[in-house]
């Protein structure tokens, strides 16, 4: 057998490179930062290459470190996957996908249904959680997130830059609407407002949408119906609560089925695209590549019935 590097040192290097620091690696590995540093020195001595540039408490991969990181990460993930299959007692494909609450039900689940048609015996684990998530520690294969900035050390695939538009149930508009489709004539209590939360400032509001139409009308959110998820805004609009600023990718199925109607063609883009993140070690897996292809919204940009 070819000479192998010390495996504990390889593990310390992979965790330090992925987490960006010896202290963070030490927490994940359950050892001291000094122990992590010593393991990496052992690996550097073995290879005859410097793997990190150390500047105070910060570390940066050298050219040699960047060259070996993808292979070491892939090898350790392969070992972990083999161990999991042996412990489970069967050689089966397993995919772990993590997504925000708003995307999981209305958008991600149908895409995973398409994936199961290709891999019918695949085991899938869908985790619904907010950013940030520790993909390495929790063995997550694909993370779907809003924006491309959460996981700078991972490969990022832009999926769709979504937009919002006014939608409501047909019955609601027949009862409360008007022939001119003039939303400024709708009572303020009948607007559904999405509370995006304190972490987001780039999502459009009703005031943004009216400004895009050239109007200075701004319905008072305190007098309307407020929900805490964009997917819930779609659901409540479908139930007849009022008019929501619905995300196109989430509302498409309801629009095509006639459960919702889009009141005008005017839309406002979200501040950032939705993106998928995956480690270099997992990017070439067939199930991961197929899922990324399915997640790219091939319908995005097509006309929605108004």
**Interval 86-95: pLDDT, tens:** 655 444 568 9
The domain 94-159+272-295 having CATH identifier 3.40.190.10: the answer here is: yes
**Interval 237-261: pLDDT, tens:** 999 999 999 999 999 999 999 999 9
Is the dihedral angle over the CA atoms 67, 71, 77, 80 positive or is it negative?
Answer: negative
**Interval 114-164: pLDDT, tens:** 999 998 888 999 999 988 898 888 889 999 999 988 898 899 999 999 999
List the CATH code of the domain at 7-88.
1.10.10.10
Strands 274-278 and 225-227 turn out to be unpaired
Residue 206 predicted with pLDDT over 70:
yes
Q: How much is the average pLDDT of 52-79?
A: 86
**Interval 162-190: pLDDT, tens:** 999 999 999 999 999 999 999 999 999 99
Q: How much is the average pLDDT of 218-231?
A: 92
Residue 209 predicted with pLDDT over 90:
yes
CATH of 163-269, one of 3.40.190.10, 3.65.10.10, 3.40.50.2300, 3.40.50.261: 3.40.190.10
Q: Which pLDDT belongs to residue 292?
A: 95
Q: Which pLDDT belongs to residue 90?
A: 47
Q: How much is the average pLDDT of 287-303?
A: 73
Residue 52 predicted with pLDDT over 60:
yes
Q: Which pLDDT belongs to residue 198?
A: 57
Least confident residue range of 50-59, 108-117, 179-188? 50-59
Residue 203 predicted with pLDDT over 90:
no
Go through 175-185 and write b for each residue having 16 or more CB atoms within 10 A of its CB, e for each that does not.
eebeeeeebee
Q: Helices in 133-205 by DSSP H: which ranges?
A: 170-176
Q: Which pLDDT belongs to residue 169?
A: 98
Q: Which pLDDT belongs to residue 217?
A: 93
- Distance between CA atoms of 59 and 21, rounded to whole angstroms? 6
Residue 302 predicted with pLDDT over 60:
no
- Distance between CA atoms of 301 and 7, rounded to whole angstroms? 49
Q: Which pLDDT belongs to residue 79?
A: 80
Q: Which pLDDT belongs to residue 75?
A: 83
Is residue 270 helix, strand or coil? coil
- Distance between CA atoms of 96 and 126, rounded to whole angstroms? 6
Distances (CA, A) of 41 to 10, 46, 82, 192: 11, 8, 28, 58
Residue 196 predicted with pLDDT over 60:
yes
Q: Which pLDDT belongs to residue 94?
A: 83
Are the folds of 7-88 and 94-159+272-295 the same? no
Residue 13 predicted with pLDDT over 50:
yes
Q: How much is the average pLDDT of 43-67?
A: 89
> DSSP E strands: which ranges in 151-283?
155-160, 163-168, 191-194, 225-227, 243-247, 261-262, 268-269, 274-278
Chain length of the chain: 306
Domain borders along the chain are 7-88, 94-159+272-295, 163-269
> DSSP E strands: which ranges in 52-153?
52-55, 58-61, 94-99, 123-128, 142-146
């Amino acid at each position: 057998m070819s000479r192998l590097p010390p495996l504990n040192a390889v593990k310390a290097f992979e965790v330090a490179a992925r987490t960006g620091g010896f202290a963070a690696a030490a927490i994940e590995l359950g050892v001291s930062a000094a122990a992590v540093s010593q393991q990496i020195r052992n690996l550097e001595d073995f290879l005859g290459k410097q793997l990190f540039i150390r500047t105070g408490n910060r570390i940066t991969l050298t050219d040699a470190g960047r060259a070996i990181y993808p292979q070491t990460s892939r090898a350790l993930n392969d070992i972990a996957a083999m161990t999991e299959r042996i412990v489970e007692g069967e050689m089966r494909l397993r995919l772990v996908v993590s997504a925000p609450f708003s995307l999981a039900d209305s958008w991600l689940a149908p895409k995973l249904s398409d994936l199961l048609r290709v891999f019918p015996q695949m085991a899938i684990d869908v985790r619904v959680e907010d950013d940030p998530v520790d993909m390495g520690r929790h063995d997550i294969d694909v993370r779907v997130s809003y924006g491309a900035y959460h996981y700078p050390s991972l490969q990022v695939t832009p999926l769709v830059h979504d937009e919002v538009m006014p939608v409501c149930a047909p019955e609601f508009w027949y009862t409360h609407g008007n022939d001119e489709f003039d939303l400024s004539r709708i009572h303020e209590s009948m607007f559904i407002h999405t509370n995006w939360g304190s972490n987001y400032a780039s999502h459009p509001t009703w005031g943004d949408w009216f400004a895009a139409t050239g109007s200075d009308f701004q319905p008072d959110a305190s007098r309307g119906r407020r929900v805490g998820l964009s997917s819930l805004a779609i659901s409540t609009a479908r139930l007849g609560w009022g008019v929501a600023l619905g995300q196109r990718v989430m509302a498409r199925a309801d629009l095509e089925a006639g459960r919702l109607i889009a009141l005008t063609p005017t839309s406002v883009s979200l501040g950032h695209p939705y993106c998928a993140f995956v480690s270099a070690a997992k990017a070439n897996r067939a199930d991961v590549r197929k899922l990324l292809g399915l997640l790219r919204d091939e319908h995005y940009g097509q006309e929605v019935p108004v």
